[in-house]
């Protein structure tokens, strides 16, 4: 939510900032803007509502002089609509200071009143301009940007990453973080700041994750980090695992198409290094100690959106293999229900970004109550894994499209690995079951590749269904969360009403929705490995078909039982029932993408959304 980039160094600052904003645009695209201190010592701001391309147009009409210090922002609107005036950067100290912000300053009304009482005129509706005003006044009083930050940040309530530069201190950017992400990129004679490493990965892969309630000061020659009181803080450098190419669209029509195609590797890379013979061994869990893992009597998975559906799939497998009760809770509901927790509870958070505020707050709540926390995360050194007792990274590579695809598959994979690890340590998993699951993982990437190859069939289907106004998805057991995920994908990128149901629930109400021609995707479990569920779902298909539904059945190859009742059949490779979700979701992802494309929508940047939801 909001992308932030900062640069100090010898290169063309506008180019560096635009490159960073292009890679960060998935964090928000309501407006974009930059501020540059040029060689003449002037501070110039260019900003515009809409996507980054609109800012680029503005810059070509009205270029900015060469400079070596600059900040850039891409916005997901919170305070105030997506207008030019509300776009960041905002100015303080009579236009000499520029500030960008990710987060929400909750006490902005009181600060605004203070500024207005002092005769300061504000031009936007944003909380950010208020902070720029207050910071500007402190700079005027103290004559030092760092000191001004120290004076202002303790006064702000809410969440923020702030980056500011002042005309009178060229070659310096000061940044502070409180519950919002901030990373530093370390260069040679140049340094960078970003909301995530994508902001600077084209220029350097050496990075530092700034800790909570710290201030970072960058100049071309150095980086300093202090706490809010100004005491120096040591920092640790890490190497970004992927390069700029991994976050490029390559030749694909969209990031989402590219990421759907990368799913076989996402699975393979997440499994790699975690299998020993017929067993799963996750070094990060080993570090917690087997006694701790044996003592756990309950697991709560917390996550939001797609990640929560991965959690729901994972819960079935963890219960089956580790014989621990597992429940899945939405992060934003978790702490409000006064959950019953004990030192034998384990909370597993699932988050692609590792920065989702709702999930972070839930994890913090769990930590405060003495619960062991494990993070399943795709983003190196993000806040949630750093706060947790253990981090089990998914290795899906950078996910840029707002709609999650490869991260979802990698999250299910990681949760399954956790289930197998726990089952081994707790001796609840028979060796032959462990070996069977390991064998499934060995062939899974190839099967996911085959599922990806359903694309052309799905594209044809989507073409025929381009005018569809509502789609339903049915599944049982692990197929149920996949039905929910299929519906979510369609809603978020094709803006089509869609709902997912547990197939058994249908006759308790939703079957009333079935009318002539109503499209229903049905996820049919394997008749070989789940015969009982299979026969029940075939009955469900007959029930909806009798009421006029257009049935699109997703089956394993060779299953002919649904042919008499299905209008369309999508065939997937054979897998054990627990592993079928990793294949079934793929055609549903393609379906959403193709319908979105057919409607002429922006697949990667759907309206009103942002990839990383860093506000509650």
| Footprint on this chain of ligand F6R (rule: CB under 6 A) | 304-307, 351-353, 356, 359, 403-404, 488, 492, 612-613
In the complex, the smallest distance separating the C-beta of residue 602 from ligand F6R, rounded to whole angstroms, is 14
Q: Which is nearer to ligand F6R, 306 or 468 (CB)?
A: 306
In the complex, the smallest distance separating the C-beta of residue 545 from ligand F6R, rounded to whole angstroms, is 30
In the complex, the smallest distance separating the C-beta of residue 360 from ligand F6R, rounded to whole angstroms, is 9
Coil, helix or strand for 570? strand
In the complex, the smallest distance separating the C-beta of residue 379 from ligand F6R, rounded to whole angstroms, is 8
Q: Which is nearer to ligand F6R, 93 or 358 (CB)?
A: 358
Residues whose CB falls within 8 Å of the CB of residue 242, separated by 6 or more in sequence, listed in order: 201, 397, 398
In what side-by-side order are the strands of the sheet with 372-377? 326-330, 298-303, 345-351, 372-377, 390-393
Which residue is closest to ligand F6R by CB?
305
Q: Which is nearer to ligand F6R, 317 or 403 (CB)?
A: 403
Q: Which is nearer to ligand F6R, 146 or 358 (CB)?
A: 358
CA distances, 59 to each of 32, 42, 90, 98, 165 (Å): 11, 16, 17, 18, 20
Eight-state DSSP code of residue 289: -
The Cα 86–Cα 73 span in angstroms is 12
Coil, helix or strand for 197? helix
Contact indicator for 514, 547 with CB cutoff of 8 Å? yes
Annotate 6-64 with DSSP letters as a single string: EEESSS-HHHHHHHHHHHHGGG--SEEEEEEEETTS-EEEEEEES-HHHHHHHHHHS--
Q: Which is nearer to ligand F6R, 196 or 556 (CB)?
A: 196
In the complex, the smallest distance separating the C-beta of residue 393 from ligand F6R, rounded to whole angstroms, is 13
Q: Which of 351, 418, 414 is nearest to 388 (CA)?
A: 351
Q: Which is nearer to ligand F6R, 345 or 394 (CB)?
A: 394
Contact indicator for 12, 34 with CB cutoff of 8 Å? no
| Active-site annotation holds for 611 | yes
In the complex, the smallest distance separating the C-beta of residue 595 from ligand F6R, rounded to whole angstroms, is 15
Catalytic residue among 2, 96, 372, 447: 2
Torsion angle, CA of 123/126/132/138, rounded to 10 degrees?
100
| Active-site annotation holds for 2 | yes
CA distances, 85 to each of 120, 364, 613 (Å): 16, 36, 23
Residue matched to tokens 């605004």? 112
Q: Active-site residues: which are they?
A: 2, 611
């Amino acid at each position: 939510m909001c992308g932030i980039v900062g640069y100090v160094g010898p290169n063309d600052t506008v180019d560096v900032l635009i490159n960073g904003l292009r890679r960060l645009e998935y964090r928000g695209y309501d407006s974009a803007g930059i501020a540059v201190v040029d060689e003449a010592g002037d501070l110039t701001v260019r900003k515009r509502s809409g996507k980054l391309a609109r800012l680029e147009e503005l810059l070509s009409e009205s270029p900015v002089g060469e400079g070596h210090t600059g900040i850039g922002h891409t916005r997901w609107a919170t305070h105030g609509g997506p207008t030019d005036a509300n776009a960041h950067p905002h100015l303080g100290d009579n236009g000499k200071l520029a500030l960008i912000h990710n987060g929400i300053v909750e006490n902005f009304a009181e600060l605004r009143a203070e500024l207005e009482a002092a005769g300061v005129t504000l031009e936007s509706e944003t909380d950010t301009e208020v902070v720029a005003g207050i910071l500007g006044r402190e700079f005027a009083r103290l004559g030092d940007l760092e000191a001004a930050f120290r004076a202002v940040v303790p006064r702000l309530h809410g969440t923020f990453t702030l980056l500011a530069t002042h005309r009178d201190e060229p070659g310096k950017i000061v940044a502070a973080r409180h519950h919002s992400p901030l990373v530093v990129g370390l260069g040679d004679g140049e340094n960078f700041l970003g909301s995530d490493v994508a902001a600077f990965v084209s220029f350097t892969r050496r990075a530092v994750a700034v800790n909570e309630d710290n201030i970072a000061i960058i100049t071309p020659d150095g980086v300093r980090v202090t706490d809010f009181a100004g005491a120096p803080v040591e920092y640790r450098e890490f190497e970004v695992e992927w390069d700029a190419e991994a976050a490029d669209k390559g030749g694909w029509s969209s990031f989402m198409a590219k990421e759907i195609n990368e799913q076989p590797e996402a699975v393979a890379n997440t499994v790699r290094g975690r299998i020993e013979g017929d067993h799963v061994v996750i070094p990060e869990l080993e570090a917690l100690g087997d006694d701790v893992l044996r003592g756990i009597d309950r697991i709560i998975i917390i996550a939001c959106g797609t990640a929560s559906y991965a959690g729901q799939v994972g819960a079935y497998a963890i219960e089956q293999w580790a014989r621990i009760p597992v429940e899945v809770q939405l992060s934003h509901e978790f702490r409000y229900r006064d959950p019953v927790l004990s030192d034998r509870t384990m909370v597993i958070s699932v988050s692609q970004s590792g920065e989702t505020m709702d999930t972070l707050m839930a994890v913090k709540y769990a930590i405060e109550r003495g619960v062991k926390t494990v993070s399943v995360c795709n983003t190196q050194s993000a806040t949630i894994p750093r706060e947790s007792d253990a981090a089990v990274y998914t290795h899906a590579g950078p996910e840029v499209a707002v709609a999650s695809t490869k991260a979802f598959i990698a999250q299910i994979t990681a949760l399954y690995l956790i289930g197998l690890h726990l089952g081994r340590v707790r001796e609840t998993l028979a060796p032959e079951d462990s070996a069977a699951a390991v064998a499934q993982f060995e062939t899974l990437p190839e099967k996911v590749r085959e599922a990806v190859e359903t694309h052309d069939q799905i594209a044809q289907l989507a073409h025929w269904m381009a005018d569809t106004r509502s789609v339903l998805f049915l599944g049982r057991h692990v197929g149920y969360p996949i039905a929910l995920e299929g519906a979510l994908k369609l809603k978020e990128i094709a803006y089509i009403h869609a709902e997912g149901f547990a197939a058994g629930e249908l006759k308790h109400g939703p079957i009333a929705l079935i009318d002539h021609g109503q499209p229903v995707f049905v996820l049919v479990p394997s008749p070989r490995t789940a015969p009982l569920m299979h026969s029940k779902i075939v009955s469900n298909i007959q029930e909806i078909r009798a009421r006029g539904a257009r049935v699109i059945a997703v089956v394993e190859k060779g299953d002919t039982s649904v042919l008499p009742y299905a209008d369309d059949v999508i065939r997937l490779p054979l897998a054990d029932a627990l592993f079928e979700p990793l294949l079934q979701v793929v055609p549903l992802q393609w379906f959403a993408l193709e319908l979105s494309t057919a409607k002429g929508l922006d697949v990667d940047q759907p309206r009103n959304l942002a990839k990383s939801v860093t506000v509650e």
